Structure 1
Amino acid sequence: MKTHTNYQIINDLQGMPAYVLVPYHEFQLKFEQPHLSLDDGVPAEVVDLSFDHNYSAARAWREYLGLTQSEVAARMGISQSAYSQHENAEQLTQTVRTKVATALGIKAEQLDF
């Protein structure tokens, strides 16, 4: 439900509107920065891990999330060695990429950087 707010207008010396007073909470809403969630992007820490250590996106995400290869492999229903091959592959097939992302709890597109 919206409530009507009367804004106060402050005029300059020539009588022209120069300022508008608004309730502080409305001012905050207008200028607050949007919050970045994992749904929207990739944390800087993940990108840093990838580029600083030459990790694949899958490995960077896994380490950022504090998971072992065995844990991710178990979530995918494959062996740790099979997961390791996926994690170190130059490119993942769309199917594998989706399975890895699901096991990590992220969107497949978040592996594309």
Structure 2
Amino acid sequence: MNVQVIMQDGRPAFAVMPFAQYEQLLKKAEMTENQADKLTFPQEVIDYKYDNNCSFIKAWRVYLKKTQKEVAEALGITQSAYSQIENAESNQKSTLEKVSKVLGLEIEQLTLED
């Protein structure tokens, strides 16, 4: 990134950059804001995930007061198969899409990186 820093009283006061770079930064910031606006995580979900060392899928299910059996039935699979989804290191995108739909969430709310 081509940036010129202008000092004032020995401290950085301004950053000057090509306008195209400035526009790119604005676009990235706007995308980040839009994504942040869309994704919400109740503190209870975060706490449960880290207190119990479990997936976001399980934390959300518990928060939504659903049983594994209820979610499994909505997905058309067995409770055992659903348990494997909750405990997997990673899941296929198609699986995450189905689970997020059943739980009424965005797929990103199930896959947010730690």
Q: Deviations over 1:23-55 (max 9, x none)?
A: xxxxxxxxxxxxxxx953111110110011101
Segments of structure 2 that go 5 or more residues without pairing to the other structure are 1-36
Q: Which has the larger radius of gyration?
A: 1
Q: Are 1:70 and 1:79, in contact at CA under 8 Å, matched by a contact in 2?
A: yes
Q: Which runs of 5+ in 1 are unaligned?
A: 1-37
TM-score by length of 1: 0.63
Structure 1 distance, partners of 2:47, 2:97, is: 22
Q: Which residue of 1 aligns with 2:106?
A: 107
Which residue of structure 2 aligns with residue 61 of structure 1? 60
- Aligned counterparts of 1:94 and 1:112: Cα–Cα separation in 2: 10
Aligned length: 76
Counting aligned pairs with the same residue, the percent is 47
CA distance in 1 between counterparts of 2:80 and 2:104 reads: 20
User: Structure 1 stretches (4+) deviating beyond 3 angstroms?
Assistant: none
